[in-house]
């Protein structure tokens, strides 16, 4: 019986002598592994991108937000029609709601956000930007950070200072590129002006319901909002409207003490809001933890489907390898017969063909990994989609490609070992 090192050397020599055939044999595995790596990377990247937006809202939070009721042109409730025709329109979360929810057993704190709906003026133009009054913990609860300047101090809230912190996108829209005098600048509305003391940046993809990214907001202290606008807002984007809108709070970001009981807390919260707003559904609730679990389940199914499709290509590649190796056995009958006549055993022939197949599939797997990583980088660069490939997936691909070689190479190797040297040499 031949030594394993001799069999490996003989297998490598044979593969080098038939480079084209070896390459064609490996193509199925190369494209199969490449598709597995790239699809897994794209799937994982899409999953992390989607989940990060939900996580940025805080899985230990419950988001309650105001929604403007929509009433049909005809019909609808009498209270709805009267509110539409009234000079004062009130809807959404009230101060009473906020005070009650802040006292719930599992609630640690409530961060408030109110859209003032004031027009932002730059020169003679009115910009499509939102001025919001926020409570002190907004920076932390929105998963944001300061790019420069400072956040509001307790004294700013106590004295209702006319100051603001602007989002990173607001800076780009209102000031020239490269401006260095943004801090200390002024934001103007028809009713008040605010000095810029800081610039906020949010890189986590946080998206506040009805308001959008914190990068697109101009924030002022909640007390300043009440002092400057008296809790009234106007929804006219042009001339000042005769209709006055009352919205106490647009968003409540409710942080819970114990994550284990967040589901029970959200149900209690929803029950209270339904009782507090019996006539119209002018509010809604988001529980990021529930969204996270739902999205994870959906993305896991998507990953399984993508992996299954890629796995089929590996299966097809394995069948192709088996067919080519069977053809190789027929072509190399003379070699097999000669080696058997010189004393090689059946196990030596079987090992040689099996090792050749495993070498081909392993090399194909390595080339496939390079192809998959390259495709992932191309997708990231040109399609602007995040891709994530892990070392676990790469090592698993190498193992799977070698396993494919063993599974689909065993039968051709067995066929080669069963050749009768006398019959083979006689036919040759």
CA 25 distance to own-chain centroid: 37
> Residues near 90 by Cβ (< 8 Å), separated by ≥ 6?
83, 245, 246, 247
Q: What angle do CA 167, 172, 177 make, to 5 degrees?
A: 140
Determine how many CB atoms are found less than 10 A away from the CB of residue 185: 16
User: If we measure between CA atoms, which residue out of 385, 396, 404, 299 comes closest to residue 37?
Assistant: 396
H, E, C per residue of 219-239: EEEHHHHHHHHCCEECCCCCC
**Strand-pair partners of 244:** 88
User: If we measure between CA atoms, which residue out of 191, 192, 190, 166 comes closest to residue 179?
Assistant: 166
| Parts of the chain with a pLDDT under 50 | 72-82, 236-241
Q: Give the pLDDT of residue 274.
A: 92
Residues 314, 26: contact at Cβ < 8 Å? no
CA distance 384 to 377: 10
- DSSP label at residue 208: B
CA distance 371 to 377: 10
CA distance 171 to 199: 8
pLDDT per residue over 331-365, tens digit each? 777 777 777 777 777 787 788 778 888 888 888 88
Retrieve residue 50's tokens: 């989607």
Q: Give the pLDDT of residue 363.
A: 85
Residues 245, 234: contact at Cβ < 8 Å? yes
CA distance 23 to 29: 10
> Residues near 171 by Cβ (< 8 Å), separated by ≥ 6?
179, 182, 199
Q: Is residue 52 classed exposed, middle or buried when 0-12, 13-18 and 19+ CB atoms within 10 A define those classes?
A: middle
pLDDT per residue over 395-420, tens digit each? 877 787 778 777 777 777 777 777 66
Strands 251-256 and 107-115: antiparallel
User: If we measure between CA atoms, which residue out of 41, 92, 22 comes closest to residue 251?
Assistant: 92
Retrieve residue 348's tokens: 């030596």
Strands 88-90 and 244-246: parallel
DSSP 314-355: HHHHHHHHHHHHHHHHHHTHHHHHHHHHTT--HHHHHHHHHH
Tell me if residue 291 falls in helix, strand or coil.
Answer: helix
Domains in the chain: boundaries: 4-53+294-427, 68-281
Retrieve residue 228's tokens: 């400057």
Q: What is the dihedral of CA 157, 153, 66, 266, to 10 degrees?
A: -120
Q: Terminus-to-terminus CA distance in the chain, angstroms?
A: 25
Q: Give the pLDDT of residue 53.
A: 62
Tell me if residue 258 falls in helix, strand or coil.
Answer: coil
Rg (CA), the chain: 34
CA distance 405 to 317: 10
Residues 142, 202: contact at Cβ < 8 Å? yes
């Amino acid at each position: 019986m031949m030594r394993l090192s001799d069999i490996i050397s003989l297998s490598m020599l044979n593969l080098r002598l038939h480079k084209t055939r070896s390459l064609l044999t490996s193509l199925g595995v190369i494209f199969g592994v490449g598709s597995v790596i790239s699809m897994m990377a794209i799937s994982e990247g899409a999953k992390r991108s989607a989940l990060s937006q939900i996580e940025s809202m805080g899985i230990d939070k419950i988001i309650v937000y105001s929604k403007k009721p929509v009433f049909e042109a005809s019909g609808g409730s009498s209270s709805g029609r009267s509110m539409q025709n009234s000079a004062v329109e009130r809807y959404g979360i009230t101060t009473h709601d906020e005070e009650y929810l802040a006292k719930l057993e599992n609630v640690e704190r409530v961060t408030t956000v109110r859209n003032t709906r004031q027009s932002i003026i730059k020169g003679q133009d009115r910009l499509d930007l939102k001025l919001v009054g926020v409570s002190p913990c907004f920076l932390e609860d929105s998963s944001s950070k300061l790019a420069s300047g400072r956040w509001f101090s307790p004294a700013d809230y106590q004295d209702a200072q006319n100051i603001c912190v602007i989002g990173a996108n607001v800076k780009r829209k209102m000031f020239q590129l490269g401006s260095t005098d943004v801090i200390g600048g002024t934001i103007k509305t028809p009713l008040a002006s605010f000095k810029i003391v800081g610039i906020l940046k949010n890189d986590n993809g946080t998206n506040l319901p009805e308001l959008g990214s914190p990068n697109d907001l101009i924030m002022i202290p909640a007390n300043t909002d009440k002092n400057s606008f008296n809790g009234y807002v106007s929804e006219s984007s042009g001339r000042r409207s005769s209709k006055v809108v009352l919205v106490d709070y647009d968003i409540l970001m409710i942080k819970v003490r114990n994550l284990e009981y967040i589901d029970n807390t959200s149900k209690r919260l929803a029950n209270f809001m339904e009782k507090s707003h019996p006539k119209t559904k002018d509010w809604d609730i988001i529980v990021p933890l529930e969204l996270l679990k739902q999205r994870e389940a959906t993305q896991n199914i998507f990953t399984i489907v993508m992996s299954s499709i890629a796995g089929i290509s590996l299966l097809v590649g394995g069948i192709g390898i088996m067919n080519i190796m069977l053809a190789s056995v027929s072509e190399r009958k003379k070699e097999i017969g000669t080696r058997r006549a010189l004393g090689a055993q059946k196990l030596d022939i079987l090992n040689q063909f099996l090792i050749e197949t495993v070498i081909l599939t392993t090399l194909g797997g390595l080339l496939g990994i390079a192809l998959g990583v390259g495709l992932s980088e191309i997708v990231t660069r040109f399609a602007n989609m995040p891709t994530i490939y892990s070392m676990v997936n790469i090592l698993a691909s190498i193992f799977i490609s070698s396993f494919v070689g063993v599974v689909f190479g065993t039968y051709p190797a067995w066929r080669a070992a069963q050749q009768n040297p006398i019959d083979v040499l006689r036919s040759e």
